[in-house]
Chain A
């Protein structure tokens, strides 16, 4: 059995004012923002002051299903070290369908580490509801 990695490349970006990151492998970043796509902040229920010029499109894939979203930049790829991850509070461990794996401390900022499968599920649920 191989040892768990102590660092992993992640993609940092923003949903409004919320700093977020996802595991970089399997995520594509497209230079141009596509206006017709949903914004990550809307999916997460995070308030924004409007969307700026710094938007990008990211594409995440889970079990053959792709999710394309607008996100706020800057988008950058960096190594996340295990020591940056902050232990989730016991009270939060059973908190439902929150699409967050945990939080990491990046410089003086807390970054929400998003769970791609959960995001894809959420987007699918919203699309299904809209179609009904």
Chain B
């Protein structure tokens, strides 16, 4: 058998390195989900598009007196009053030095007639991602998925709204 040349060895090394970043669980046949991806502090989250009513630029948020810290206040969206939450305060806070790719946004999630604004340092989408894998211990997280080398928590808007407003009972 012909001994591989140094060039072949280098090519093999390059090929191995290039495939190392591939997600072994990802393939073209895996189920997909369309989401709006958002960053809150150092964490990335995604909301499936069926739960996203719209994404608006973050403007002045009017406080709700005596509300818990995560409930930042209300905003007026097309004449509707929408409560706004900070995911960092509701789920867990992580700081980041990541530069924002967009202006701060509020992602309006809706389930039936219940709406909730989620403050995002930046938001992108709609984006097609692999369906989330793994069951989370938390009701409001459907699972996790890798997107652009980031770990993204896919949110369950129904449970998130319930959680945010249940915690609103002060």
Contact = CB atoms under 8 A, between A and B. Distances in A.
Contacts of A94: 165, 169
Q: Which range holds the interface residue count of chain B?
A: 20 to 34
A95 B116 CA distance: 13
B115 interface: yes
- Where chain B touches its partner, the secondary structure class is mixed
Interface string B129-170: 000000000000000000000000000000001001100111
A97 B65 contact: no
Nearest to B113: A90
Contacts of B164: 91
B66 A45 contact: yes
B65 A44 contact: yes
Interface in B103-119: 112-116
Given A112-B62, A122-B66, A89 B76 contact: no
Contacts of A88: 81
Nearest to A16: B63
B79 interface: yes
Interface of A: 15, 17-20, 44-46, 86-92, 94-100, 103, 105, 109-110, 112, 114, 122
Interface of B: 62-67, 71, 74, 76, 79-83, 112-116, 161, 164-165, 168-170
Given A91-B83, A91-B161, A105-B76, 10 more contacts: A44-B63, A87-B80, A89-B81, A89-B114, A92-B81, A95-B168, A98-B65, A100-B65, A114-B65, A122-B66
